Amino acid sequence: MKMKRLKTVKSILWALVGAAFAIAVFRFWRGLGPTTALTDLTPWGFWIGFDVMGGVALAAGGFIIAATVYIFHLERYRPILRPAVLTAFLGYSAVVVGLMFDLGLPWDIWHMIVFWNPHSPLFEVGWCVMLYLTVLLLEFLPVILEMSKHPVLAAVYHVLHKFTVPLVILGIMLSSLHQSSLGSLFLIMPHRLDPLWYTPILPILFFVSAVALGLMMVTTESLFSAWLYEEEYELDLLQGLGRVAAGVLWFYLALRLGDLAARGVLPHVLDGGFGPNLFLVEILWSVLIPATLLTIPATRKRMKTLAIAAGMTVSGMVFYRIDVGGLAMIESTGTRYVPSWTELTVSFGIVAGAALVFFWIAEHFHLMHGGPMIKGRERLPDVTNFRPRLIRGAVMFVSGAALATALLPNAAIDGWPVVAQTVHRPGYGDVMILDGNRNDKGVRFDHKMHADIVEGDDKCAYCHHMVKPGARATGCSECHKDEHLPTSIFDHRLHQELLAQGPGCLTCHEDTSKPKDLEHSKPCLDCHSSMIPAGAAFKPRESPNIGLAPGYMDAMHGLCLRCHTEQDGNSSTDAPTLARCSTCHSGVVKPFDPLHPDQRLAAPKKDDAPKGDDPKAE
Amino acid sequence: MGALLEFSSGALFRLAIVVAVLGVGAQFIQNALVIARSSGTWKAGAGSSLKAIGAWLNPVARARTRGVVGEILTVIVLAGVIVVPLFYLGHARLWGRTLFLDWPAVPAEISDLLTKVTIAALAALLVWRLADRNYRLAMLRFDWLPILLALSAFVSGYLVAHPGHSPLSPDNTALIHFMSADALLLTVPFTRLARCVLLPSAIAGAIQHRKEVAA
**Residue A473 within any structural domain of the chain:** no
Q: Distance, in angstroms, between B122 CA and closest chain A CA? A: 29
Q: What domain range includes position A502?
A: 487-608
Q: B-chain residues within 8 Å CB-CB of A395?
A: 26
Helix (H) or strand (E) run with residue A549 in it: strand A548-549
* Nearest residue of B to residue A23, measured between CA atoms: B18
The interface pTM score, or ipTM, of the predicted complex is 0.71
User: Which residues 6+ apart lie within 8 Å of A397 measured at CB?
Assistant: A14, A15, A17, A18, A21, B22, B26
**Residue A435 within any structural domain of the chain:** no
Q: Could you say which of A22, A386, A395 has the minimum Cβ distance to residue B18? A: A22
Band of residue A313 on the pLDDT scale cut at 50, 70, 90: very high
Residue A347 has pLDDT above 70, yes or no: yes
Band of residue A574 on the pLDDT scale cut at 50, 70, 90: very low
Same domain as A30, residue A12:
yes
Same domain as A576, residue A597:
yes
* R_g (Cα) of chain B, nearest Å: 19
**Residue A449 within any structural domain of the chain:** no
Give the three-state DSSP class for A232.
coil
Q: Distance, in angstroms, between B100 CA and closest chain A CA? A: 8
CA B38, CA B201: separation in Å to the nearest integer?
15
Q: Could you say which of B14, B30, B33 has the minimum Cβ distance to residue A406? A: B14
Sign (positive/negative) of CA torsion A253, A257, A260, A262?
Answer: negative
Is A387 in contact with B34 (Cβ distance < 8 A)?
yes
Is A394 in contact with B26 (Cβ distance < 8 A)?
yes
CA A24, CA A32: separation in Å to the nearest integer?
10
Q: B-chain residues within 8 Å CB-CB of A18?
A: 22
In the listed set A407, A423, A446, which residue is the last one of a domain according to the structure? A407
More confident site: A351 or A563: A351
Is B27 in contact with A394 (Cβ distance < 8 A)?
yes
Q: Distance, in angstroms, between A417 CA and closest chain B CA? A: 9
Q: One-letter amino acid identity for A536?
A: A
**Residue A437 within any structural domain of the chain:** no
Q: B101 in contact with A at a CB cutoff of 8 Å? A: no
CA A478, CA A272: separation in Å to the nearest integer?
52
The string over A281-310, giving b where at least 16 C-beta atoms fall within 10 Å of a residue's C-beta and e elsewhere, is ebbebbbbbbbebbbeeebbebeebbbebb
Give the three-state DSSP class for A88.
helix
The burial of B86, by beta-carbon neighbours within 10 Å (0-12 exposed, 13-18 middle, 19 or more buried), is given as middle
What average pLDDT does chain A have?
A: 78
More confident site: B71 or A372: B71
Cα angle for residues B74, B80, B85 (degrees, 5° grid)? 140
CA nearest neighbour of A407 among A46, A27, A19? A19
Q: B82 in contact with A at a CB cutoff of 8 Å? A: no
Give the least confident one: A239-253, A344-358, A560-574: A560-574
Q: One-letter amino acid identity for A552?
A: Y
Is A398 in contact with B98 (Cβ distance < 8 A)?
no
Residue A427's pLDDT is what? 63
Residue A128's pLDDT is what? 83
How many A×B Cβ pairs under 8 Å? Answer: 52
Residue A423's pLDDT is what? 62
Residue A273 has pLDDT above 70, yes or no: yes
Residue A55's pLDDT is what? 82
CA dihedral A280, A286, A292, A296 (to 10 degrees): 170
Number of folded domains in chain B?
1
CA dihedral B103, B105, B108, B111 (to 10 degrees): -120
Sign (positive/negative) of CA torsion A167, A172, A173, A174?
Answer: positive
In the listed set A361, A384, A407, which residue is the last one of a domain according to the structure? A407
Residue A366's pLDDT is what? 80
Q: What domain range includes position B189?
A: 2-214
Q: Using DSSP bridges, classify how beta strands A443-446 and A487-488 pair: parallel, antiparallel or unpaired.
A: unpaired
Mutate to test the interface with A, among B6, B12, B13, B14 (most CBs of A within 10 A): B14
CATH code: domain of residue A154: 1.20.1630.10
Same domain as A153, residue A29:
no
Residue A295's pLDDT is what? 92
**DSSP assigned state of A72:** S
Residue A586 has pLDDT above 60, yes or no: no
Half-sphere exposure of A389 (CA within 13 A, CB side): 16
Mutate to test the interface with A, among B12, B15, B39 (most CBs of A within 10 A): B15
The percentage of chain B sitting over the pLDDT mark of 90, rounded to a whole number, equals 8
A359: number of Cβ within 10 Å: 18
State mean pLDDT over A537-553.
58
In the listed set A359, A383, A407, which residue is the last one of a domain according to the structure? A407
Are the C-beta atoms of A289 and A313 separated by less than 8 Å? Answer: no
Is A397 in contact with B26 (Cβ distance < 8 A)?
yes
Q: Distance, in angstroms, between A457 CA and closest chain B CA? A: 21
Q: B30 in contact with A at a CB cutoff of 8 Å? A: yes
Q: Could you say which of B22, B99, B100 has the minimum Cβ distance to residue A401? A: B22
The burial of A610, by beta-carbon neighbours within 10 Å (0-12 exposed, 13-18 middle, 19 or more buried), is given as exposed
Number of folded domains in chain A?
3
Mutate to test the interface with A, among B7, B9, B12, B22 (most CBs of A within 10 A): B22
Same domain as A87, residue A145:
yes
The burial of A580, by beta-carbon neighbours within 10 Å (0-12 exposed, 13-18 middle, 19 or more buried), is given as exposed
What are the beta bridge partners of residue A443?
A: A434
Q: B-chain residues within 8 Å CB-CB of A410?
A: 10
- The angle, 0 to 180 degrees and rounded to 10, between the axes of the packed helices A341-364 and A81-102 is 150
Is B30 in contact with A387 (Cβ distance < 8 A)?
yes
Are the C-beta atoms of A37 and A338 separated by less than 8 Å? Answer: yes
What average pLDDT does chain B have?
A: 77
CA B2, CA B20: separation in Å to the nearest integer?
26
Residue A585 has pLDDT above 60, yes or no: no
Band of residue A18 on the pLDDT scale cut at 50, 70, 90: very high
Q: Distance, in angstroms, between A144 CA and closest chain B CA? A: 18
Residue A280's pLDDT is what? 94
Same domain as A111, residue A216:
yes
Q: B-chain residues within 8 Å CB-CB of A407?
A: 11
Sequence-separated contacts (24+) of B33-40 with Cβ below 8 Å: B33/A386, B33/A390, B34/A386, B34/A387, B34/A390, B37/A386
Same domain as A510, residue A365:
no
Q: A-chain residues within 8 Å CB-CB of B5?
A: none
Task: Using alpha carbons, list the distances in angstroms from residue A353 to A16, A228, B201.
Answer: 8, 17, 33
**Residue A88 within any structural domain of the chain:** yes
What are the beta bridge partners of residue A433?
A: A444
What are the beta bridge partners of residue A445?
A: A432
More confident site: A97 or A43: A97
Task: Using alpha carbons, list the distances in angstroms from residue A322 to A7, A28, A131, A210, A290.
Answer: 31, 24, 24, 14, 19
Task: Using alpha carbons, list the distances in angstroms from residue A242 to A293, A296, A306.
Answer: 9, 10, 8
What are the beta bridge partners of residue A444?
A: A433
Give the three-state DSSP class for B19.
helix
CA B160, CA B173: separation in Å to the nearest integer?
6
Helix (H) or strand (E) run with residue B41 in it: none
Helix (H) or strand (E) run with residue A217 in it: helix A202-228
CATH code: domain of residue B60: 1.20.950
Give the three-state DSSP class for A444.
strand
Same domain as A284, residue A168:
yes
Name, of A25-34, A112-121, B64-73, the range with top average pLDDT: A25-34
* Nearest residue of A to residue B24, measured between CA atoms: A398
Helix (H) or strand (E) run with residue A586 in it: none
Mutate to test the interface with A, among B18, B33, B49, B101 (most CBs of A within 10 A): B18
Q: Could you say which of B11, B17, B23 has the minimum Cβ distance to residue A407? A: B11
Is A398 in contact with B23 (Cβ distance < 8 A)?
yes
Same domain as A371, residue A223:
no
CA A283, CA A316: separation in Å to the nearest integer?
8
Give the least confident one: A315-329, A422-436, A604-618: A604-618
Q: A-chain residues within 8 Å CB-CB of B11?
A: 406-407
Residue B42's pLDDT is what? 66
Half-sphere exposure of A194 (CA within 13 A, CB side): 23
Residue A421's pLDDT is what? 63
Same domain as A356, residue A283:
no
Same domain as A598, residue A584:
yes
A427-478 pLDDT, tens digit per residue, is 667 777 776 666 666 677 788 888 888 877 777 777 776 555 555 566 777 7
CA nearest neighbour of A390 among B11, B141, B34? B34
Half-sphere exposure of A594 (CA within 13 A, CB side): 16
Residue A224's pLDDT is what? 87
Terminal alpha carbon distance of chain B: 54
State mean pLDDT over A187-195.
86
Are the C-beta atoms of A293 and A260 separated by less than 8 Å? Answer: no
Q: B94 in contact with A at a CB cutoff of 8 Å? A: no
Mutate to test the interface with B, among A398, A410, A418 (most CBs of B within 10 A): A398
Those residues of chain A whose CB sits closer than 8 Å to some CB in chain B are 18, 22, 386-387, 390-391, 394-395, 397-399, 401-403, 405-408, 410, 413-415
Q: A-chain residues within 8 Å CB-CB of B100?
A: 414-415
Same domain as A315, residue A344:
no
Q: A-chain residues within 8 Å CB-CB of B10?
A: 410
Q: Distance, in angstroms, between B178 CA and closest chain A CA? A: 15
The burial of A523, by beta-carbon neighbours within 10 Å (0-12 exposed, 13-18 middle, 19 or more buried), is given as middle
State mean pLDDT over B168-181.
89
Residue A402's pLDDT is what? 92
Are the C-beta atoms of A65 and A85 separated by less than 8 Å? Answer: yes
More confident site: A462 or A192: A192
Band of residue B142 on the pLDDT scale cut at 50, 70, 90: confident
Same domain as A193, residue A240:
yes
**Residue A91 within any structural domain of the chain:** yes
Q: List, in sequence order, the alpha helices (H) in A326-409.
A: 330-333, 341-364, 374-379, 386-407
User: Which residues 6+ apart lie within 8 Å of A78 measured at CB?
Assistant: A69, A370, A371
